[in-house]
Amino acid sequence: MKTHMKIYRLLFLILLLPSLANAETKNFSADQIDLLHSAQIYMDNLQDVTARFIQFNPENSAIINGELYILRPGKLMMRYLAPYRIDYFIIDDNFVQYDYDLDQLTRADANKSPLNLLLYKGINLADNDLLDLTNIVDKGSYFEVYFTNKTEDLAEEISGLTLKFSKLPTELTGITRVDSQGNSTDLTFSKVRSNVGLESNIFEFERPKPKYPDAR
């Protein structure tokens, strides 16, 4: 009976959730598709997110603390607080990074950022132009959704991305990015708050005045 129920549930998910239909071709189980469905619903209903994070760099060479802010569509700010201070923005298709210690400003195009998966509604986790869904792993109290790079535009930036979600309720709790050399950078979130009504003005970047202006 349990086997029949799982088969019926899998057919239900595939037939009534066309956005997840290609999951069946990867031989995912009904339980895996359930988890993917809960992640997709969470992402589809997401308006904004705030969180604290701890970042573990490749080979644990550094542990960095900071804050994350996301406002859909298209806005992200990561504020690194310790051991150094850097602000990192994605504003629509523009990337801005400012290093407070060096007074160094970097600008670039963010049109093909893999973080677009988080920044825009309507992106199908199972089928999109940026990343290929490769696995869904149940870890008990949380689960992980694995992706690999799909486009040449991202080849030098990443080879893979993992989104981590808690259960009950489903909530984004971390991101792991794998670069083209296979090195992982892991962000673990805490104090996550969703749909709190973030104001767009917090994503407006203004270059601070230099601490030590040239004497004239």
Q: What confidence tens digit (pLDDT) does each residue in 9-32 have?
A: 443 344 344 445 554 445 789 999
**Pure H helices in 17-155:** 30-45, 116-119
Q: Which of 158, 94, 171, 95 is nearest to 132 (CA)?
A: 158
Rg (Cα) of the chain, in Å, rounded? 19
Sorting pLDDT into bands at 50, 70 and 90, what band is 63?
Answer: confident
Buried b / exposed e over 63-75, threshold 16 CB at 10 Å, is ebebebbbbbebb
- Residue 200 token pair: 């767009």
pLDDT at 135 over 80: yes
| Cβ 165 vs Cβ 142: under 8 Å | yes
Quote the distance between the C-alpha of residue 25 and its chain's center: 25
**Pure H helices in the chain:** 2-16, 30-45, 116-119
What's the whole-model pTM score? Answer: 0.81
pLDDT tens profile 156-204: 667 889 999 999 899 999 999 888 788 888 999 999 999 999 999 999 8
CA–CA distance, 167 with 181 (Å, rounded to integer)? 32
Determine phi and psi for 109, rounding to 5 degrees. -85, 130
| Cβ 164 vs Cβ 173: under 8 Å | yes
